[in-house]
Amino acid sequence: MQLLITELVGVLGAMSLPGSTTTLAVVIGVYSVVMPALYAGALIGGTRLVQLVNELYATRTELAASAVGEERVRLSRDLHDLLGQSLSAISLKGDLALRLLAKDPAAAGAEIESLTEVAREALRDTRAIARDEHAVSLSTELDGAAALLGAAGVHTRLDVAELPALPVPVQSALAWAIREGTTNLLRHSQAHSCAISLSRHQGTVRLEIINDGVRGTAEHGSGLCGVAERARAVSGTVSATVRDGRFRFRVEVPEEAT
C-alpha cells in the first residue's frame, strides 16, 4: 500500500507544472486522507484475519474431538457386537465340555478344541476391528447362528429366500443384526425354538428372528441400539416386540441402499 501511494504521488507530481503549488497541495491532501484510511483498513483486515485463524483453529479442534468420539463409539459398538456372540459361544462350549468330560471325553475334547478356535477367531476379529478392517458375511452369520443355537439346544429353523446380490452395506447391516439377535436370544431367553427368516417385500429386505422362552419384556440395550444405528445408516428400521411369550426382532432395509 505504501508503494501504491508513493507511485500516486509520483504521477501527480509529474502532472504538475513547474513551480505550481496547487498540485502539490492536492497531493498532500490526498496523502493525508488516504493513508490513514488505508492503515485503518489494514488494521481492521489484520484483526479479522486473526479472528478467522482462531475460528479455524477452534473448528479444527472441534472436528478432531468429534472424530475421536465417533471412533470410540464405533469401536465400542463393534466390540460389543463381535465379542458378545464369541463370549457366549465360548461359555456355551465350555459348559458343554464340562458336562461331557465324565461320560464322553472324546466329545469333550472336540468341544474344547472348537472353543479354542472360537477364541482365536475372536482375537483375529478384535484386531481387525481396531484397524477398521472387520467385515461380516450374511451367509456366514446365518450358518453360524444356526450352529450356535443348535449347540445350545435351541431348535432352529432357517427360512431364507433367494435374494439377488445385495449391496455390501445392506449385507453388513443384516449380518450384524443376525449376530446381535442370536446373542440376545442366548443371553436373555430360555428359548427352545427359534425361526430366522430373510425375505424380500417390495424392494425391502426383511430379517426376522422369532423365539420363545422370553423372560420379561423387550429390552433395548446397547446391542439393539447398535443394530438400529447400522440400519439407519442404510435407511433401514429395527423393531423388537414381545407377544404371547415370543420375542420378535425385525430389521428392514431398502434393497438398493448404499
Quick: pLDDT tens for 145-198. 888 888 888 999 999 877 778 888 898 899 989 988 988 888 888 889 999 999
pLDDT digit string (tens) for 50-77?
A: 676 667 666 666 665 655 555 566 566 6
Confidence of residue 250 (pLDDT cuts 50, 70, 90): very high
User: Which candidate, 97, 107, 226, places its Cα nearest to that of 173?
Assistant: 226
DSSP for the chain? -HHHHHHHHHHHHHHSPTT-SHHHHHHHHHHHHHHHHHHHHHHHHHHHHHHHHHHHHHHHHHHHHHHHHHHHHHHHHHHHHHHHHHHHHHHHHHHHHHHHHTT-HHHHHHHHHHHHHHHHHHHHHHHHHHTT-----HHHHHHHHHHHHHHTT-EEEEEE---PPPPHHHHHHHHHHHHHHHHHHHHHB--SEEEEEEEEETTEEEEEEEES-B-SS----HHHHHHHHHHHHTT-EEEEEEETTEEEEEEEEETT--
Q: How far apart are CA 255 and CA 166, in angstroms?
A: 7
- pLDDT of residue 37 exceeding 90: no
On whether the CB atoms of residues 176 and 129 are closer than 8 A, the answer is: no
pLDDT digit string (tens) for 84-141?
A: 777 777 777 787 778 888 888 888 788 788 878 777 877 777 776 666 555 678 888 8
On whether the CB atoms of residues 238 and 250 are closer than 8 A, the answer is: yes
Lowest model confidence (mean pLDDT) among 8-17, 189-198, 211-220: 8-17
Q: Which cell goes with 42?
A: 489494514
Task: Check residue 17 and give its pLDDT.
Answer: 46
- The rounded percent of the chain whose pLDDT value lies above 70 is 60
Task: Check residue 166 and give its pLDDT.
Answer: 85
Task: Check residue 11 and give its pLDDT.
Answer: 47
Task: Check residue 205 and give its pLDDT.
Answer: 92
pLDDT, the chain, mean: 75
User: Which candidate, 240, 83, 73, places its Cα nearest to that of 176?
Assistant: 83
Task: Check residue 4 and give its pLDDT.
Answer: 46
Confidence of residue 256 (pLDDT cuts 50, 70, 90): confident
Q: Across residues 242-257, what is the average pLDDT? A: 88
> What pTM value is reported for the model?
0.60
Task: Check residue 211 and give its pLDDT.
Answer: 94
Q: Across residues 140-145, what is the average pLDDT? A: 87
Q: How far apart are CA 232 and CA 1, in angstroms?
A: 56
User: Cα 220–226–229 angle (5° rounding)?
Assistant: 105
- The dihedral of CA 179, 183, 184, 190: what is its sign? positive
Q: How far apart are CA 55 and CA 51, in angstroms?
A: 6
- pLDDT of residue 12 exceeding 50: no
- pLDDT of residue 8 exceeding 80: no
**Ramachandran quadrant class, 245 (left: phi over 0; alpha: psi -120 to 50; beta: rest):** left
Task: Check residue 100 and give its pLDDT.
Answer: 80
R_g of the chain, CA atoms, integer Å: 35
Task: Check residue 102 and give its pLDDT.
Answer: 80
